[in-house]
Each structure stands twice: as structure tokens, then as C-alpha cells.
């Protein structure tokens, strides 16, 4: 079965950068679109970014556009989220997920990772 394992979270100061990784096992990432989500305490889960099967077409939430970059490394079967210019509002648990359909962005997510904590202090 397909499994996703995130890593790369941590505690940083505002303005700093982090790169999150999502290693996929059990299938190849070229078969799926994929997304990154985040959820802060007391808030709804937010889709941050997604990327198409081909690793070229992407979607970003307005809140992260221009600061975050989603990418796929097919050789490593890994999804990344490069985050820069972080601010305290970016603090959340970040999770990656596999989706089935791409229509402008990825949806019908079926498999989720366990999440990694990102904390940004001012």
C-alpha cells in the first residue's frame, strides 16, 4: 500500500526558510497529483499547494504564493515544499497527500501522511 512520510519541520524565526519532504513508498509519484496541507490549532485545514502528475503544473493558495514552492523529485520519489519568508501565521502541522484528479488543482485526496510541525516565532 502507498505510504507517505513527511520530514523537515521545525522551529524557526520569522523571515527564515524551511524545506519539507514527503517520501512516498508503495507506488511512483508520477502516477498522482499531490498536495501540501496545513492545519493550525482551532483553524480549518488549508490546502497550501498542489502539483500535477507531470511535476510541472502547480497551484498555490494566495497566502503562500511567491513564498512557497512545491516540487517533485521523480528519482527520489519525493515531494518537496520549499518555504521562505516564513511568518508566525505559517505555524501549523503540514501534511502531504496523494490525489486522484487534477482540474486546475489536485483533488480527491486518498492517502495522507502523519504531518510535521512548523513553528515560526516573531
How many Å apart are CA 71 and CA 10, to the nearest integer? Answer: 20
The cell for 20 is: 519539507
What is the predicted pLDDT for the residue at 104?
84
What is the predicted pLDDT for the residue at 118?
98
Q: For every one of its 122 residues, what pLDDT tens digit does the chain have, with 9 covering 90 and above? A: 999 999 999 999 999 999 999 999 999 999 999 999 999 999 999 999 999 999 999 999 999 999 999 999 999 999 999 999 999 999 999 999 999 889 888 999 999 999 999 999 99
What is the predicted pLDDT for the residue at 49?
97
How many Å apart are CA 17 and CA 53, to the nearest integer? Answer: 26
Per this entry, what is the length of the chain? 122
- Coil, helix or strand at residue 59: strand
What is the predicted pLDDT for the residue at 66?
98
* Terminal-residue alpha carbon distance, the chain: 41
How many Å apart are CA 39 and CA 43, to the nearest integer? Answer: 6
Amino acid at each position: 500500500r502507498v505510504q507517505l512520510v513527511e520530514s523537515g519541520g521545525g522551529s524557526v524565526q520569522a523571515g527564515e526558510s524551511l524545506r519539507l519532504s514527503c517520501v512516498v513508498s508503495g507506488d511512483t509519484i508520477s502516477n498522482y497529483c499531490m498536495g501540501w496541507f496545513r492545519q493550525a490549532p482551532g483553524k480549518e485545514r488549508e490546502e497550501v499547494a498542489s502539483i500535477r502528475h507531470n511535476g510541472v503544473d502547480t497551484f498555490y493558495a494566495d497566502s503562500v504564493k511567491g513564498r512557497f514552492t512545491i516540487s517533485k523529485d521523480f528519482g527520489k520519489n519525493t515531494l518537496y515544499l520549499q518555504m521562505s519568508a516564513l511568518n508566525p501565521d505559517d505555524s501549523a502541522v503540514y501534511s502531504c497527500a496523494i490525489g486522484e484528479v487534477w482540474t486546475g488543482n489536485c483533488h480527491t485526496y486518498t492517502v495522507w501522511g502523519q504531518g510535521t510541525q512548523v513553528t515560526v516565532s516573531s
